[in-house]
Amino acid sequence: MCAVARIVKRAYKYRFYPTGEQAEELLRTFGCVRLVYNKALEERTRAYTMQGRRVSYAETSAMLTAWKRTQELAFLGEVSSVPLQQALRHLQAAFVHFFAKRAEYPTFKSRKKSRASAEYTRSAFRWRNGRLYLAKMDGPLNIVWSRPLPEGAEPSTVTVSRDNAGRWFVSILVEEKIRPLPPVEPAVGVDAGVTALVTLSTGEKIVNPQYERRERRRLAKAQRALSRKAPGSKNREKARRRVARIHARIADRRRDFLHKLSTRLVRENQTVVIEDLTVRTMVRNRSLARSISDAAWRGLRSMLEYKCDWYGRNLLVVDRWFPSSKLCSACGALRDTMPLNVRRWECACGAVHDRDVNAARNILAAGLAERRNACGAGVRPQESPLGRGDWL
C-alpha cells in the first residue's frame, strides 16, 4: 500500500553573485528594512510603556506610509515596498509571541550584529524559465543551482541575505510533495555526548568531528590580527571578513555533518528516541561549555524533529531527569552516583557496561515503554512523551 504524500513548505537555499548595481540595491533595501523595523518597534514600545496600548500591524503600516512622505525618510520609497511591509509583519509576529509568553520582548536590529536580509513575496519578484527577477532590478540573479528545485515548483516567498563573510544567499520557499519512507522495524536510542557526538543503542559510537576545535588555531591567529587593526580602517574590515569566513566554514561543515547524520538515523529506524537535555544549564560548566556548543545538539534535534515529521517516523523524547547513565540496562539496578570520569562500570549483577552505550539502551527502553503506556493516545513525531526541554 502506497503511503500518502504530504504537501509541505520547504526552503531551498542557494548562493548567488549579484552585479554591482544589484548589490547596491540590495544593501539599500537591507538598510531600509532595518530602519523600518526599528522605528516601528520604537513607536510600539512608546505606546506600550507610556499608554499601555498595543499597536496593530495596520497602524504601523499607516506609519510607514507617513514616513515615506516626509523629507527626511523619502528614500524609503526608492526601494521595493514589499520587504518593508514584511519587516512590519515580522515585528507583529514577534509581539504576538511575546504577549503569548512564548518569547522575550523584541529587540532592535543592529547594523553590525543583525542578519542582513529582505523578504520578497509574489508581488515583488518574477519567476520565469528558472530565472529569478527581484523588484527594482532589470536582470535576473546569478544563482548557483547546487541542486534543482522540485519539478513544477512555484516560489511563494524569496528571502535574500548576506552573511558576515560577505556571501550572498537566496532562500526560495516552495510547496513540495514529500512521500513518507517505507516502514522499517528498527528503533534506536540516542545518547548525546562530547567525545562521541552520539552513541546508539546498537553500540555504535559516532565520533564528534569537533570542527571548531580543528580551526581554533587559525581562528585565534585571525582574531589577533583583527585586534591590531585600527578601528574604522579598510584593513580592519578585511581582517573582520577573514574571521567571519573561518566561522562560516566551521558552521557549514558542522551543518553538513548533522544533516547526513540525522538523515541516516531517520532512514534506518522507524522510531528514534533521544534525551531531553538542559543545555542552557550545561554550558555553565566552564570546562565543557565550548565543546558542548561545538557539538550543536540543538541543531541535531531540530533536524530529527522535522525529518521524522516529513518521512513518517516517530521521534520520542525521554525526560531530562531520567537516570540513563546510572541505571543498569541488564537488571534495572540504580546506582547512587556516576561521576563523569567513570566511562566503564560493573553492576552487582555482573554486567559490565560502557557508560554511553548503557545510557543509549536505557533511553530506548524508556521511550518505548512510555509509548506503550500511552496505549493508543497517539505519540506524534516531534512530541515528547514526558515533556519538552531546551537543547542548544
CA–CA separation, 174 vs 167, rounded Å?
23
Cβ atoms of 308 and 381 closer than 8 Å: yes
Short-list 43, 31, 173, CA closest to 95: 43
CA–CA separation, 221 vs 228, rounded Å?
11
Short-list 82, 83, 109, 104, CA closest to 94: 104
Residue entry with cell 528571502 = 159
Q: For residue 131, give the C-alpha cell.
A: 530565472
Q: For residue 12, give the C-alpha cell.
A: 531551498
Q: Which neighbouring-strand residues pair with 199? A: 191, 205
Residues 6+ apart with CB under 8 A from 180: 3, 4, 5, 6, 310, 311, 312
CA–CA separation, 376 vs 117, rounded Å?
45
Cβ atoms of 346 and 352 closer than 8 Å: yes
- Collapsing DSSP states into helix, strand and coil, what is residue 11? strand
Q: For residue 16, give the C-alpha cell.
A: 548567488
Residue entry with cell 504530504 = 6
Q: Which active-site residues does the annotation give?
A: 191, 275, 356
Angle, in degrees to the nearest 10, between helices 57-68 and 20-46: 120
First to last CA, the chain: 39
Short-list 208, 186, 194, 187, CA closest to 355: 194
Decide: residue 198, CB within 10 A, 0-12 exposed, 13-18 middle, 19+ buried. Answer: buried
CA–CA separation, 380 vs 308, rounded Å?
10
AA letter at 381: P
